[in-house]
Structure 1
């Protein structure tokens, strides 16, 4: 079952695929900006960039009761200590819980959405994170990630977010007790356009493997 209309979801959540009696969920978190209090535009390119990932998860999960959903942001930016994208990710998780009960969830986030995914991964529902070219500032908290499975995918030619920051985050998360892995990607830069099929396939595989894993 595919649910695509905005009216079918809460204001915080857009349901993409497989909304009938799911046994687990993949929640997509798109990118954004460091700062921006305005609402995302109707033609929101960072959100559109996640559509092929939603479709890749749908195809890879064929025959399984996996819901694919997308968080909807109130603001375009992270906005410093406000951490708006992380707050919206928390709200989307709460909306999933309210509608479908206690489901295991894997978060798939790109750039700012990767930062948001890692920030909220301590939620009891979250089994793990697939972070795509994530924004990982030095000193981000990691203690809440103990027991979570993390896969950080990054092309080292990325000029927007730094792969070395992802690898450092992986190291620190491992020390905190996370099952964390850095996955170097051979191409794609930050937008993941070159070699896009590999990004889509690998993200979908890792998300579903993590969803099927036993909680730590």
Structure 2
């Protein structure tokens, strides 16, 4: 007798990360979406969740005067799983959960790797004001891909209209192709001018080599997109520049040192 597949556990939000001294009311939320795998029904590893906590704490500190709360999403499983797009479905659920918990507050979906793809895919929810995709995992698709003309349709981008969208990718990423995120940003920019992309030269998939700059960029983008703070000059320039300039903006060493939160 064949074994029946066990139902997936429900996704859930990790405990809200807020900084001591934060304003009492939550005025905006960041949902951090961890990396995942292409195909897997296994439960996510606790490590993938734990890896997001330092960024969650840094963002909460940066936005404490704005009433920012940060949640790391706990997926139902670790795989995207083809057309199931499970991680994107979990991201969409997490947005609904934030609306249920906090009401009408602006939300930023921020993901890394497979979580970056989930953030982009789920970014069309009306409650989402901005999307941050770090080293997003994106499949090759369309007639020019190695899979040929019968490969899947390109990732959708038109639903991102009206959102602030930032992609960040290391140029030496051996796991997710930076050129694919550039192509997606190029398509997104055609329908949504509020799209930009930064390149972190010589950095890899984890963006560890320039973590301080990437974190400062994320904090600046989130505070600007959710709460209306002024963007740092490089972000303003990247959003305003025509392609490809604003989609291949180099993230300068030391970015963020002159920014005050």
Class of the TM-score when normalised by the shorter of the 2 chains = 0.7 to 0.9
- Deviations along 1:80-131, one digit per CA (max 9) or x if unpaired, are 0010100101111111111111111011100100000000111011111111
Correspondence for 1:33: 37
- Deviations along 1:33-53, one digit per CA (max 9) or x if unpaired, are 001101113x32x22221121
Give, in whole Å, the separation in 2 of the partners of 1:210 and 1:151: 10
Give, in whole Å, the separation in 2 of the partners of 1:76 and 1:102: 29
2:31/2:72 contact within 8 Å kept: yes
Structure 2 counterparts to residues 51-200 of structure 1, below 5 A: 51-137=53-139, 138=141, 139-200=154-215
RMSD, matched Cα:
1.8
Offset, 1:11: 5.6
Superposition TM-score, scaled by structure 1 size: 0.88
Structure with max Cα Rg = 2
Q: 1:70 to 1:178 in 2, by over 3 A?
A: farther
Over 6 Å off, 4+ runs: none
Give, in whole Å, the separation in 1 of the partners of 2:109 and 2:11: 19
Extract unaligned runs of 5+ from structure 1.
Answer: 1-9
Deviates more, 1:10-19 or 1:173-182: 10-19
Give, in whole Å, the separation in 2 of the partners of 1:109 and 1:101: 22
Correspondence for 2:28: 24
Q: 1:177 to 1:73 in 2, by over 3 A?
A: same
- Deviations along 1:158-184, one digit per CA (max 9) or x if unpaired, are 011011111111110011225110101
Give the SS at the match of 2:192. Answer: coil
Give, in whole Å, the separation in 2 of the partners of 1:166 and 1:52: 25
Superposition TM-score, scaled by structure 2 size: 0.73
1:27/1:69 contact within 8 Å kept: yes
